[in-house]
Chain A
Amino acid sequence: MSKPVIATASLAGCFGCHMSFLDIDERILALVDLVEFNKSPINDIKTFTKPVDIGIIEGGCCNSENVEVLREFRKHCKVLISLGECAIMGGLPAMRNAIPVRECLEEAYFHSPTIDPADPKIMPGDEDLPIILDKVYPLHEIVKIDAYLPGCPPSADLIWKALTSLLEGKPLDLSYNLIKFD
C-alpha cells in the first residue's frame, strides 16, 4: 500500500506554524517513514503531482494568490486542516481589517517611516503581483475546512497528535494540555 500523502502551505502567516511543525524534532524520521510529502515548503515541491490525503494550511488569505492556492489545496486534498490562529481567525494580519485598504497601502508605500520623502511615490501595481483583498479572511470562509488546530503556533505535540490520529484513523482526541495556551 502506498504511503499517505501530505501537502502544506503558508499563506498570510509567518511560517511560525511550519517552524512549530518542525519542532516535532526526531519524530520527523518516523513521519518520513509514515507519509510522503507532496507540494510543501518543507521539501520545496511547488506543484501538486498527485492526489493528497491531508492538506495543512497555515495563515489566512490576504491576497488573490492566497485564495487561488487555497482553492488548489481544496481541489487536491481529501482532508484539509486549518493550522493556527491566522488560518482559523485571520490572526495578526487581520488587524488591518478595520482599516480601509487604501489607507493600508498608502501607509505602507507613501507614509511609512522608511520612505524617503524625496523619492517619487510609487504604488506597486504590476499585473503579476497578487492583489490585496479588502480584508484578511480565515480559510473556512473561502473553502470547506475539515479540521482546525488552534494555537499561535499550535505546539509540535498538538500537530503530531493530530497527524498521527488522522493517519491511524482514530478520532481526534486532543487532551486539555495540548490546547491550553496560558
Chain B
Amino acid sequence: MPSKGLIASIIDRHRRDRTRLIDILRDIQAKSGFISPEAVADVAAGLGLSTVEVEGVATFYHFFSSRTAGTYAVYLNDSIVSVMKGRAAVAAAFEKAAGCAFGETTRDGRIGLHRTSCIGMNDQEPSALINGVVFTNLTPAKAKIIVEGMKAGMDVPAMVAVTGDGANASKLVRAMVKNNIRKGGPVIFAPFRVGAAVKKAVRMTPEDVIAEIKKSNLLGRGGAGFPTGLKWEFCRRENGEAHYVVCNSDEGEPGTFKDRVILTECPQLLFEGMAVAGYAVGAKEGVLYLRGEYAYLKPYLEKTLADLRKKNILGKKIAGKAGFSFDITIKLGAGAYVCGEESALLQSAQGERGEPRARPPFPVQSGYLFHPTTVNNVETLCMAARILEKGADWFKALGTPRSAGTKVLSVSGDCKKPGVYEIAFGLTVRKLLEMAGGLDAQAVQVGGPSGNCISRGQFDRAIAFEDLATGGSIIVIGPGRDLFEVVHNFMEFFVEESCGWCVPCRAGNPLLLRKLEKIMSGKGTPSDITEIETWGKTIKAMSRCGLGQTSPNPILTTIENFREMYEAKVDRGNSFLPEFDLAESVKAASAVTGQKYAAHAPEKARE
C-alpha cells in the first residue's frame, strides 16, 4: 500500500490540481498496482474533495483497480481482430505460464491477467499492454517468454527486443509498434515543413483563417462529420474568459489506429493544427487528450512540444505575432471508450468521470472547464494545418464534391496488408479491398462496431460522407468467419463500455446481447428478430450520447444486410421459444438449500 507520504508527493507534483485527478490516480496505480480505499481517502483529503467523488473517478476507468492488478499487469486486447488472429491460444499460453486465469492475479501478486478493449493495434494483433508497454503480434511462444521475463523480475521496457519503424524506434518511444503506412497521401502523410501553417495563419486575421477552413469544406474526421470551420466560428463567437482547443486523441473505436500513426509520425503537423485553431478561435491554451492506451507516446509528444516552443511555433508571440500566445498540455485518459465522445472527453480532461454531458450547451459554448471550446479530431486538426499551408482550393480538389480531401483509414482483419491508408474520398470498398488484399471478404465492417457491416453486394459503395461515412475503422471479415461471432464481440464491447448513465444504453445493450445469444443458441424465433429491431430503435433514440445512439448497429446493420443469416438461425415454425430452462435455473439455489426440484402444481398447492 502506498504511504501517505508518497500520495502527498504525487498530489504535490500535480500542483494539488483537481483537474489532474486522473494523472494523480494513474501515478498511484502505477506505483502500487492498485488504488486502495485509504489512498482514495488520502487523495480526497489532499484535494479537498469528498471520498465519493474520488472513488467515482477511480472506479470509472478500466486501468484503475481497487485490488492489485499485479506488479506486472497484462491487459490483453479482446477485440474481434485480436480474436481472429489467435487471441485464444495466446490467452491460454499466458494463463498456463503465469499459473492464473484471466481476471485474476497470481497469489504472490506478481502477475495479473486482464482483458481490455481495442488498444489501437488492430493491424498487429494479438496485442497487449503490460504496465503501459505495447506488445504486438503475440503468439503462444512469445507469451511464454514474456511470462518468464516477468517471473525473473525483468523491466518491462527491456522486454522489447525489436522496435518498430519510423519514430517507434526513437529513443523516447522505443515501441515494437509498426506504423504499417501502406498508402501515404497528400494531406496527412506528405512531408511537412515546421511552421508552414502557423506562419501563414498569423499573417491573416482569425476571421480569414476560419473563412479559409470553411471554404475548404473540411468536415470533422472523428466520424460525425461536423463542418470544422463552422465549429471554430461558433466557438470564436462565444463570449468567455478563455477559449480552448481540445484535440480528441481518444480513438477507441475498435479497429481504428490511424491517430496512433499520425501521433507517431506527424505530431508537428497536429500541434500546428492546434495552434492554428487556437489563433482562429482566440484560445491561449490547448489540451491534447491522449487515450491511456497511448501513454507510451507521451514523453515523445512532450519532447515535440518542447521543440516547437523552441522554434516559436508554440509559446508567446508565436511566429512573431504580437498578442498571440498558445501552448498545449497533454492529458491522459485511463481506459474508457466513451471518452471519445466529446463531452465525456471534456469531463475526463477535467479529472472527472467520463460521463457525457447533456447538450445543449454544446462544447463550443461550454466546453473545457466550462469555457468555449473547439474539440477536434487528430486528423481534422492536421488537415486544418495543411489547408492553411496549401490553400482551401487545393484541398477541395481532392475527394468528392461533398466530401473534400482525403481520409486516413485503419484497415485490419482478414487482408494481406493491414495498416494505414490515406485515400481520397470516393474510393469504393472494392478498390480498398484490392489494395489491402482482402477481395474475398464476406463482409466489411465500415466505421467500427458503431458503423455499418456491409455485404459483398455493397462493395461498390464509396467511402465518403454521402455514402459510407467512417471515422476510419475498416475491418475485413474473411469468408470462413462466423459473422455472429463478430457481432457478438461488438455487442459485448458496448455492454462493457456503456458509462451507465442512460437506462436504454445501460440496460438495453445487455438485453440485445442476450437476444443475440438466444438466436445464436438456436432458440430464436422470428419474433426475436423483430424485437431486436424495435428495441434497437429505442436504444438509439433514447440515449444521450453517440455510444448508445450507435450501439445497436452491429446487430441492426447485420439484420439489414445479412437477414438471411438470421432467418436461417431462427425457428420459423414457432412464434416463441424460451431460452429459459427452469430445471437448470434452480440448480444454484438447490445446491445451497438442499431442495430438490419437482414441478409444483401451484393451482392445487395453493388451495
Contacts and interface: CB of A to CB of B under 8 A. Distances in A.
A105 B606 contact: no
Interface in A105-156: 105-106, 123-135, 137, 141-144
Interface in B556-607: 575-576, 578-580, 582, 584-603, 605-607
B527 interface: yes
A166 B593 CA distance: 43
Contact of A133 (B507, B514, B586): B586
What are the nearest 10 A-B pairs in CB distance?
A144-B576, A125-B593, A132-B589, A101-B588, A131-B586, A125-B594, A134-B588, A133-B585, A68-B602, A142-B580
A131 B595 contact: yes
A24 to B, nearest CB: 27
Contact of B589 (A67, A89, A101): A101
B600 A72 contact: no
Contacts of B602: 65, 68-69, 72
A105 B592 contact: yes
A102 B599 CA distance: 22
Interface of A: 46-48, 64-65, 67-69, 72, 89, 100-102, 105-106, 123-135, 137, 141-144
Contacts of A46: 603, 606-607
A74 B580 CA distance: 15
11 contacts: A72-B602, A101-B592, A102-B592, A123-B594, A128-B605, A133-B582, A133-B589, A134-B588, A137-B580, A141-B579, A144-B576
A70 B430 CA distance: 53
Given A47-B606, A72-B603, A131-B597, A144 B592 contact: no
Q: Give the size range of B's interface with the partner.
A: 20 to 34
Contacts of A128: 605
Contact of A105 (B507, B576, B589, B603): B589
Interface string B124-154: 0000000000000000000000000000000
Given A101-B589, A124-B593, A64 B600 contact: yes
A130 to B, nearest CB: 7
Interface in B517-576: 527, 575-576
A72 B595 CA distance: 23
A148 B590 CA distance: 32
A124 B590 CA distance: 11
A130 B585 CA distance: 12
Nearest to B604: A47
A64 B580 contact: no
A100 B588 contact: yes
Nearest to A48: B603
Contacts of A101: 588-589, 592
B599 A131 contact: no
A125 B595 contact: yes
Contacts of A135: 585
A131 B578 contact: no
Nearest to A133: B585
Contacts of B597: 64, 131
Contacts of A123: 592-594
A144 B596 contact: no
Contacts of A144: 527, 575-576
B59 to A, nearest CB: 15
A134 B592 CA distance: 11
Interface in B70-111: none
B576 A143 contact: yes
Given A46-B606, A143-B578, 11 more contacts: A46-B603, A47-B606, A65-B600, A67-B580, A102-B588, A102-B591, A129-B595, A133-B582, A134-B589, A141-B579, A144-B527
A124 B582 CA distance: 20
B592 A64 contact: no
Contacts of A106: 592
A101 B296 CA distance: 43
A47 B591 contact: no
Contacts of B578: 141-143
Contacts of A143: 576, 578
A126 B588 CA distance: 16
Given A100-B588, A101-B592, A130 B580 contact: no
A105 B607 contact: no
Given A102-B592, A142-B578, A64 B607 contact: no
B589 A68 contact: no
Nearest to A69: B602
A174 to B, nearest CB: 14
Contacts of A124: 593
A142 B593 CA distance: 24
Contacts of B527: 144
Contacts of B582: 64, 67, 133
A131 B603 contact: no
A23 B486 CA distance: 48
A105 B593 CA distance: 9
B590 A131 contact: yes
A163 to B, nearest CB: 22
B603 A141 contact: no
Nearest to B596: A127
Contacts of A89: 507
Nearest to A46: B606
Nearest to B597: A131
A124 B593 CA distance: 6
Nearest to B583: A64
